[in-house]
């Protein structure tokens, strides 16, 4: 809870000022953020915040400069009040091009965005590789390294993770005798690990 609380500072500030707890229906309009599915099913997230420059840049990237002068969307507070009118317009536009096409347009117009990556994309992303977030596979298992560093290096795992049931017998023997243990295994209460035959 303590670690998570640092992410709620903005929400607490709003609650303190307005006596109203922010919700998805209020937070998205305030942040002017969107998660948009593109042609092909990939997605992009946008966060326009309060900068008028980013909104105008987005309308150019979308090829819809008329939205910049639409009274419903002209200024930050206009867009906040009419966010749920704007959302379907932006969503429909993004369905017309692939994520790669949108990324090229958004970069050219200096619109803050990020691609929404699948786990497969994240696993092979250059930043993931540069950060060495993943350990080399062990027996077909892809392992995520601990996020912290000590003296510039991530800690290594000194041993492989146990298989399901690998230590069941030893642990259960601490609180029951061998006869009771055998019965628990026979009844399927305790899973007994069976070592795979090595090729």
The larger pLDDT score, comparing residue 59 to residue 190, is at 59
**3-class SS at 117?**
coil
Q: Which of 195, 128, 125 is nearest to 160 (CA)?
A: 195
pLDDT digits (tens, 9 = 90+) for 44-80: 999 887 789 999 999 999 999 999 999 999 999 999 8
pLDDT digits (tens, 9 = 90+) for 151-162: 988 887 776 777
**Mean pLDDT, residues 9-35 taken together:** 79
Alpha carbon distances (Å) from 112 to 1, 35, 109, 186: 30, 12, 9, 59
Boundaries of CATH 3.30.1540.10 in the chain?
29-134
Alpha carbon dihedral 162, 164, 169, 170, in 10-degree steps, equals 20
The dotted CATH code for 29-134 is 3.30.1540.10
8-state DSSP, 138: B
Q: Is the pLDDT reported for residue 23 higher than 70?
A: yes
Which pLDDT score, from 0 to 100, does residue 196 have? 55
Confidence of residue 4 (pLDDT cuts 50, 70, 90): confident
| 168 within 8 A of 190, measured Cβ to Cβ | yes
Confidence of residue 95 (pLDDT cuts 50, 70, 90): very high
Q: Is the pLDDT reported for residue 16 higher than 80?
A: yes
Q: Tell me the Ramachandran region of residue 143: left when phi exceeds 0, alpha when psi lies from -120 to 50, beta otherwise.
A: beta
| 68 within 8 A of 74, measured Cβ to Cβ | yes
């Amino acid at each position: 809870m303590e670690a998570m609380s640092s992410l709620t500072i903005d929400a607490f500030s709003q609650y303190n000022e307005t006596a109203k707890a922010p919700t998805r229906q209020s937070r998205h309009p305030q942040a002017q953020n969107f998660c948009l599915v593109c042609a092909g099913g990939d997605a992009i997230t946008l966060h326009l915040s309060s900068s008028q420059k980013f909104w105008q840049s987005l309308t150019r990237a979308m090829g819809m400069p008329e939205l910049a002068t639409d009274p419903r969307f002209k200024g930050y507070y206009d867009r906040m009040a009419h966010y749920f009118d704007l959302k379907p317009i932006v969503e429909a536009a993004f369905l017309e091009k692939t994520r790669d096409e949108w990324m090229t347009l958004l970069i050219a117009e200096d619109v803050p965005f990020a691609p929404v990556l699948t786990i497969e994309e994240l696993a092979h992303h250059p930043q993931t590789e540069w950060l060495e977030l993943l350990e080399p596979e062990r027996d077909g298992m892809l392992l995520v390294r601990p996020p912290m560093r000590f003296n510039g290096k991530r800690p290594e795992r000194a041993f492989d993770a146990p298989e399901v049931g690998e230590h069941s017998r030893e642990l259960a023997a601490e609180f029951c005798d061998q006869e009771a243990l055998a019965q628990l295994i026979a009844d399927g209460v305790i899973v007994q690990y069976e070592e795979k035959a090595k090729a």
